[in-house]
Amino acid sequence: MSTYTQILYQIVFSTKNREHTLTKRNREELYKYIWGVLKNKNCHLYRIGGITDHIHIVTHIHPSISLASLVKDIKLASSEHIKALKLFPDFKGWQNGYGGFTYSFKDKDHLIEYVKNQEEHHKTVTFKDELIELLEEHGIAFDEKYLL
């Protein structure tokens, strides 16, 4: 018997101290690099997007990979890449922690559109408010003092 899975994740994490360091000019380079990390881990990327202080990744994760190890690998590799190429001069690293949310595969197209429209979305909603909304939507208890 083979292993079959279809677990759609939205992974969200922020820059250190939510600093607005991910300038638009080099974001695509960062996204392509993260896509390569996912590809090397046999994960399927559906969409990646974000704004100056955080990113969203919509992906299927290979069953042999844990979410925590994948996020750790993405953060470490992308931090090194950013610093080596000086993509974002003021970038100091990624925040500790992340949000990992699962979705039904039926929600894939809606989720892709949501991530695609991050620039527009954040004209009216802060990252903190967005994160609180995601946590509440998924029934995750949290302490607001850890949301910076």
pLDDT at 115 over 90: yes
Burial class (CB in 10 A: 0-12, 13-18, 19+), 38: buried
Q: H-helix or E-strand containing 139?
A: none
Torsion of CA 63, 133, 71, 113, to 10 degrees: 70
Distances (CA, A) of 107 to 46, 62, 71, 120: 12, 19, 22, 20
Stretch 75-95: mean pLDDT: 97
Residue 148: the pLDDT is 65
pTM of the model: 0.93
For residue range 9-41, list pLDDT tens digits in order.
999 999 999 999 999 999 999 999 999 999 999
Give me the CATH code for the 8-147 domain, please. 3.30.70.1290
pLDDT at 2 over 90: no
Return the DSSP state at 62: P
